[in-house]
Amino acid sequence: MAVEVELKAWVDDPERIRDRLLTVGTPHRRYLKEDEYFGYGETPERARYRLRRDGDAWICTFKEKRIHDGIEENRETEFTVSDGDAFRHMLESLGLRRIVRKRKEGESFWADGVLAELSHVEHVGWFVELEIVLGDDADRETISASRDRLHDLLRRLSVPLSAVESRSYNSMIYEATAESGTVSRSSV
């Protein structure tokens, strides 16, 4: 288990942010992450388990989320899955429902020990995500210092704090697809 300290902020000009990331960081990789969120119920708040396809890898994640001033502080349990289809079937046989699907494409960078992702989230838009992963035993002082590092990097990228989004992608996708009639969740 680990503690993630992360934030996401809206991006109006992804090319400008990419240029800034190249100035302050080092390219890491391009990605396409396709996520399915499962839970008991139908609302995004009930989606507690994520099954992610990232390239050829399947990863299951369970997070205990806490949001403080727009920054998530998550206790995360994550493990690889050898067969995503079989794992999905197991979740459904246990009574969990797929609540939201998320497709996120972008590029990641390392900047001062922070993983920075410039992502386009289908149905929602462009974001920069900043994340620091700490050990499970991280104390409040270490978490607070990590929050300060994220804010500092955000400033260096010239992204205003007002662009930080505290809603989950799941909630935003759920709202956007309900409004547009696009089917991306199983309850529609």
For residue 126, the domain's CATH number is 2.40.320.10
pLDDT more than 70, % of the chain: 91
Range(s) of the domain holding residue 103: 2-180
Helix (H), strand (E) counts: the chain:
4, 9
Q: Is residue 187 part of a domain?
A: no
Task: Report the C-alpha gap between 113 and 131 in whole angstroms.
Answer: 9
CA–CA separation, 91 vs 71, rounded Å? Answer: 29
pLDDT for the residue 64: 77
Residue 33 lies in a domain: yes
Count up the domains in the chain and report the number: 1
Q: In this predicted structure, what is the pLDDT of residue 63?
A: 78
Q: Is residue 186 part of a domain?
A: no
DSSP letter string, 75-128: EEEEEEES-HHHHHHHHHHTT-EEEEEEEEEEEEEEETTEEEEEEEETTTEEEE
Q: Tell me, what's the pLDDT at 180? A: 59
> pLDDT below 70 — which residues of the chain?
69-70, 179-188
| Rounded Cα gap, residues 57 and 52, in angstroms | 8
Does residue 188 sit within a domain? no
In single-letter form, the type of residue at position 41 comes to G
pLDDT at residue 59, rounded to an integer? 96
Cα–Cα distances (Å) from 183 to 22, 31, 129, 162, 177, in that order, read: 36, 23, 26, 30, 6
**Residues forming beta bridges with residue 134, ordered by sequence position:** 3
